[in-house]
Structure 1
Amino acid sequence: MTTLRRRLLTLVAAILLLAGLATGVVLHAAARADRANQPRSGDPTVRTGTLTLDQKGRLAFLNAAPGPHRNAVASVRSTDPEGGRTASTLKCARFYAAAGTGICLQSNPGVLKQSNRALLLDAGLRTRRTFALAGTPSRARVSPSGRFAAWTVFVSGESYSSAFFSTRTSILDTRTMRLAPSLETFSIVRGGKPYHASDINFWGVTFAPDDDTFYATLNTANKTYLVRGSVSRRTVTTLVENVECPSLSPDETRIAFKKRVLSRTNLWHEYVLDLHTLRETALAERHSVDDQATWLDNHTVAYALPTDGRVGSSDLWSVPADGSGTPHLLIAGASSPAPL
C-alpha cells in the first residue's frame, strides 16, 4: 500500500506540474500579446464604424495596429491609404473579399487544442456559413465574381520554410455551398502525363474571372510548381517551377509570386511572371516576402512585411509590377489587403 500510495502521489504531482506549466505558457502568451497590443505614439487612428464589402473605392485589410481593434477587418479610402481607418468588430487571422463576398479565417488558441474555422461572409460582414479548419490559417482568396472562395491551412508545421509541413487547400462554391475539402483529390498533369505521388501539397489559390480557372502552388518531390486548374473538371496542370503563392493580375496576363532564392539575407523574392512568354521580372522589393501578394491594379502589387521592432505585427507595402521604382509603405500596421 505504501508503494502504491507513493506512485499515486507522484502521478498527482506530475499532473499538477504539467497543468501549472500549461497555465504558465498561456498566461505568458497572453501577457506578450497584451504588450504587443499597447498603442504607441504615432500609431494610426482607428475608429469603429460601419464597414461593408460592397463599398467601392476602398481598400479592406486586417488591422495590425495595437489597441482594441487589433486583427479586426478594417478599411481605408483607396486614394488615402494613410488616412484614418474604420474598423469592424470582426477579427480574423486571414481575410480576403471580392464582389461583396468575404472569407475570414479564425484561429482561437486553447490550452489543449486550437480551434480554427472559416467564416463565409456577406457584404455586411455577417456569417453565411461556418466551416471547421483542419489546421492553422495560412492563405485566403475569393474569386472576382464572389462565386468561389479558397483557403489554405497548415496541418502540421508552422511555415513553408519548415523542414516538415503539410498543407490542405479547399475550394468552396459560395452559391451551392459545395466544398472541395482538398485539392489533393484533383487530377494532376505534369509534363503532359498524369502524375501521382504521396507527398503532394497545394497552397495559395488565385482565381480567374471565368468562375472556373484558378492557379495555385503544387509542391512535390522537393519542388514547387505553378499549376493552372479547373474547378469544374477537377484537374490541375503544371506550368513552371519555383513559383509560390501566385496572384493573378486583373487583366489575367501576369502572375505575381514569391520565388525561393539562395541568399543569406533573403528566403523569397517577389517576381511577376508573364503568362504568355513565361518571362520572369524581379520586383524592386529586396526583403524576403513571405506573403501572397495582392494586385491593387494592373500596375501595382501589395504585400505584407514584418514591422520593425514589433513582434507579430506587419505593414503593407506596394511596388510597381514592372520591376521599376522602389517599395512604398502603403499602410502601417496592416495585412491581408483586399481592394473593394
Structure 2
Amino acid sequence: MSDLTLTPIAPAESRRPLLGASQAELTEWVQQQGQPGYRGKQLYQWLYERGARSLEEISVFPKQWRSQLADFPIGRSQIHHRAVAPDETVKYLLKLADGQIIETVGIPSDRRLTVCVSSQVGCPMACDFCATGKGGFQRNLERHEIVDQVLTVQEDFQQRVSNIVFMGMGEPLLNTDNVLAAIRCLNEDVGIGARHITVSTVGIPGHIRRLADQQLQITLAVSLHASNQPLRERLIPSAKPYPLADLLEECRTYVQLTGRRVTFEYILLADFNDLPEHAAELAHSLRGFQSHVNLIPYNPISEVDYQRPSPQRVQAFLDALKRHRIAASVRYSRGLEADAACGQLRASKLKASL
C-alpha cells in the first residue's frame, strides 16, 4: 500500500489533527516545532500504540513543550452514547470536534473484533430502506475521524481490532481521498491487514475503477439490493444515472485489474425483491462472475413499511442462487437489540434529544 501518498502535515498554525499521519510525517512535524527527529517516533508510538488523546499526556516529551501544545488537536472523538446488545455487539455514537455525531459498531466474535466504520456524517444516497439516508447528509469525514473510530473500539474492548468494514454511515466512494488515506494508516500504522478491510459502496460511476487502479488487497463489497434496474431505482434513487449493466461491467473490470473477487450485498425485503424470479434474474446477471453474494434479511426501521422475509423465504432465495452455481451465503446482522441497523441508534437518540 506504499503507493498511497499523503499530503505532508502543515505547520502548527493550520491545526490539522495529527492522527492518520505516518511516522515520517510526524517526524517532519516535530522538527517544524524545533524538536529533534526522534520525537517523531515517540509521537507515533503514543498515537497508535498507547492511544494518546492529547499531546500533554505524552510524558516522554519535555514538559514545557507539552504545555505549549496542550490544545493542539490529535483528532480523537468523545463517546457520546454507548449501547450494548445481548450478543455483546457494541454500538457507539461518537461526538466529533465540530459537534457532529457519527455511528461506529464493534462486533466481537470468536478470536475476532470487527469494526463497522462510517465515512460520512449522514449519507447523500437516500436509499429508501436505510435509516441513515432518511437523516440527510452533512459532510465527509476526515482521515483522522475514520482512524479514530477503530482506535476507540479497540480501546473500549481492550482487544486488538482484526477486521474493518466501511459499512457504517455514508458512501465511501464519495469520500475516496480520505477513505484511501485512512486505509493506508489502518494498514501500515495500526497494523490491520489489507485483506481484512472491506469497502462497501452503492456504486459511483468511475470510482470502482479508480479504486481498482490503486491495486489494493482490500475487499470490495457492492450493494446491489435488486436484480434489475427499475427495482433498484425504487430502492436507491441515486442509481438512476448508473444502469445496473454498467455497474456490473465496472465490477468485472475491477476483478480483471485486481484479481480480487467482488462481494455483492443483497438486502432481502419481503414480497419486494425476494421472489424466485428475482433470484433467477440475479443469477443470470452474475453468471461467470468471480464474486460472492451476501444475502441480508432486512432490519426494519420505523420510517418505512418494508418487512423482513421469513427464514423459509431467505433459504429459498439462497437455494435458488446455489442451483445456478452462484456462490452465496446469508449474513444475519448483529446487535439488533441495540438499534445496530445503520442509522437507527443515531436517529433514536436525536429524536429523544428533540
Q: Same fold (TM over 0.5)?
A: no
- When you count strand as a share of all residues, which structure comes out higher? 1
Return the TM-score normalized by structure 2. Answer: 0.29
- When you count helix as a share of all residues, which structure comes out higher? 2
Return the TM-score normalized by structure 1. Answer: 0.30
